[in-house]
Amino acid sequence: MRIGVPKEVKNHEYRVGLTTLSVKELISAGHEVVVETNAGVGIGLTDAHYKEVGAKILATAKEVFDTADMIVKVKEPQPSEYNLLRENQILFTYLHLAPDPDQAKGLIDSKCVAIAYETVTDERGGLPLLAPMSEVAGRMSVQVGAWMLEKSQGGKGAYQALNRPELLF
């Protein structure tokens, strides 16, 4: 199978669908992996890193989508990507369809096979791909909360608010 990794285009998204370790595993299992140039730069992975493990680097997202049987992303496809998907092509990513009917329509119109990470279950009914994201979100909530308490963010000031919780509301 040809697996494609486009660069994420969602604003402020710096992650990449596959790291070099994942690419190496897929290639050793007999798959071909194509990666859009600079797809991993946001996490410190260069095109050279991907080439070292056997990936082929392509110049544009269109080339990646045109070449791959399966697309692996981090975030839901953006409107500019809907028309790049094609019938029977597999899309494997997080999807947020309930609040985004345009995305749902774009996927339906493309006739791709969209598999959402958050719906993958294990033999016990657990959500092995969603659980790590939930853990990260839980840990970050404390950091984000503290940041929001800072005066520069319109808060009452972290020290003042932590010592006098009534000031939070």
Burial bucket for residue 84 (CB in 10 Å: 0-12, 13-18, 19+): buried
Do 36 and 7 contact (CB within 8 A), yes or no? yes
Domains of the chain: 2-119 (3.40.50.720), 131-168 (no CATH)
The per-residue pLDDT for range 126-157, each reduced to its tens digit, is 877 777 777 777 887 888 888 887 878 887 76
| Sequence-separated (6 or more) residues with CB below 8 Å from residue 151 | 157
22-80 confidence digits (pLDDT tens): 999 999 999 999 999 999 999 999 999 999 999 999 999 999 999 999 999 999 999 99
Nearest to 49 by CA among 14, 20, 7: 20
Residue type for 21, please?
L
Stated pTM of the model: 0.81
Query: What pLDDT sits at residue 138?
Result: 81
- CA dihedral sign of residues 73, 117, 133, 56: negative
pLDDT tens digits, one per residue of 107-119: 999 999 999 998 8
How does pLDDT run across 81-108, given as a tens digit for each residue?
A: 999 999 999 999 999 898 999 999 999 9
Q: Could you write out the DSSP letters of every residue in 128-162?
A: TTTHHHHHHHHHHHHHHHHHHHSGGGTSS-HHHHH
CA distance 78 to 48: 27
